[in-house]
Amino acid sequence: MLPQESAIALARPALDQIIQDKSRSEEIMEKVATRTMKLRVEQLCRLWAGMGSVYKISVGNVAEFVVKHVTPPMPAEQSFGDRRKSKSYQVEANFYQHVATEMTNKSPSCLLMPTPYKVEYGPKPDEMTICMAYLQGSCINIGSKKDLLGTLKWLAHFHAVYWGASAIDELVERVGLQEIGSYWHLDTRPDEHAGMIKRGLQGRLKRAAKALDSCLKRDPMQCLIHGDPKEANVMKLNNGNIAMYDFQYCGKGTPTRDVAYFLCSSCDENWEGELVEFYFQHLTERLVLQGVTPPTFEHFEQSLLLAFCDFYRFLCGWGQWGYDLQDRVSSLLKSLDNGKDLGSDEAYDAAIRNKFW
C-alpha cells in the first residue's frame, strides 16, 4: 500500500491544480495535517507482473486524484520482459510530463486524457510515481457503435498531431518515448516469434515477420501512436465524451498499428468497414486543417492489412484473442508466395518491397 506520508506529499501539487487556489490548498492541507480532514488511499488495481499499483486518493470531499506507483525489480534482476515493462513506465511518465497537456490543448474538445499533476522518481532504481487526475466514467461499451466511433475519432485526432517522420522523430528523441510504438511489435517479442509453429500458414508468416515489420517501419504514414488502445484503456466519461489513458507504449509508428489492434481487440468485425471509413475521414480532416497532405485511402487500406497480419504474428506466439485474422493473413501471404514458403526472410522482404513500399 502507498505510504500515508507519500499520499500526503502528493496531495499538495494535486490540490494546487484541482482547486487552483493556493491559499485554499494550504487550508486544506493544514486540516489534513491536524487530522480534521481525512485523506483516504484506495488501491484500484495492481500493475502487470506485480510492478506496483494504482491508487485513488481522496482528500475529504474536496478532491480526488490517481497515483500510479511503479516498483520494478532491481535492474540486475530484470528479465527481458521486465525491462520492456520498466521502460514502458518511464515512457508513460515522460508522456505525462512533456506531452499530455500540449496535446490536450491542441484538440481540447476531443483529446481528453488524465491531467498530469506530478511525476516523482526513486528512491529505488526505476521506481516512479505518476500523480494525475481521476476521471469520472466507465469503460466503453464495445457493443455500442457510438462508443467505438468516439474512440476512433480520438485516435484520429491523436495521430494527426505529430504527423510525419521528422515531427515524430524529433518528439521521440526530445521527450523519451518508444522508438517504435506498440507493445507487440517484433523487436520486443522475440520469444513469441520463436514460439510460432514452423510449418503451414504460421511457418510462412514466421518467415515473413521481419519483412512485415520493416515494411510498417518504412510506411510513409509515421506519427505518434498510442500503442495499446484496447477497450480497457478507453473511458466514456460521465458527460459522454471519450478519454484514453495508459500511454506506456506511446511512440513512433504507422497509425494502422493502433487501428488494427483496436478493431481486432475491441470491435465487432461486421462494423469494420464503417469504422475504418469513419476513422479515415476524421484523420483526413485533421491533416488538411494542419496543411498536411493526407494519405490515400488505398494506401491506408494496404497498411491496415499489413498491421493486421503483423498483429496476428504476435498472437500466434502469445495466444489468440479478438476476431479471426487468419483469412487475411492467408490472402496476403498467397499474394507474396503463391501458397509456398519462399525459403528465406530475404525472399519475403523482396516480395513485400515489390508489392508495397
pLDDT digits (tens, 9 = 90+) for 150-191: 999 999 999 999 999 999 999 999 999 999 999 999 999 999
pTM attached to this predicted model: 0.96
- pLDDT-derived band at 108 (thresholds 50, 70, 90) equals confident
Confirm whether 190 is domain-assigned: yes
Confirm whether 177 is domain-assigned: yes
DSSP state of 174: I
Q: State the residue range of the domain holding 284.
A: 141-355
Confirm whether 46 is domain-assigned: no
Average pLDDT over residues 293-308: 98
Confirm whether 106 is domain-assigned: no
Summarised one tens digit per residue, pLDDT across range 16-52 is 999 988 899 999 999 999 999 999 999 999 998 889 9
Cα three-residue angle 337-257-217, rounded to 5 degrees: 65
Confirm whether 349 is domain-assigned: yes
Q: Which of 186, 244, 251, 252 is nearest to 221 (CA)?
A: 252
Name the percent of the chain lying above pLDDT 90.
95
Q: What mean pLDDT is reported for the chain? A: 96
Domain count, the chain: 1
Alpha-carbon distance of 12 to 113, in angstroms, equals 21
Alpha-carbon distance of 301 to 273, in angstroms, equals 10
Confirm whether 91 is domain-assigned: no
Which one-letter amino acid corresponds to residue 118? K
- pLDDT-derived band at 236 (thresholds 50, 70, 90) equals very high
Confirm whether 114 is domain-assigned: no
Alpha-carbon distance of 1 to 316, in angstroms, equals 37
- pLDDT-derived band at 1 (thresholds 50, 70, 90) equals confident
pLDDT of residue 106: 87
- pLDDT-derived band at 232 (thresholds 50, 70, 90) equals very high
pLDDT of residue 48: 87
Q: Residues 6 or more apart from 193 whose CB is under 8 A from it?
A: 186, 206, 209, 313, 317
CA distances 336 to 185, 208, 347, 349, Å, are 21, 9, 10, 10
CATH of the domain at 289: 3.90.1200
Inter-residue contact 72 to 122 (CB < 8 Å): no
Q: Residues 6 or more apart from 155 whose CB is under 8 A from it?
A: 226, 229, 255, 258, 259, 262, 279
pLDDT of residue 70: 97
CA distances 323 to 229, 270, 311, 320, Å, are 16, 10, 12, 9
Confirm whether 317 is domain-assigned: yes
pLDDT of residue 280: 98
- pLDDT-derived band at 11 (thresholds 50, 70, 90) equals very high
Q: Please, is 67 exposed, middle or buried when counting C-beta atoms within 10 Å of its C-beta (0-12, 13-18, 19+)?
A: buried
Alpha-carbon distance of 290 to 160, in angstroms, equals 8
Alpha-carbon distance of 182 to 188, in angstroms, equals 9
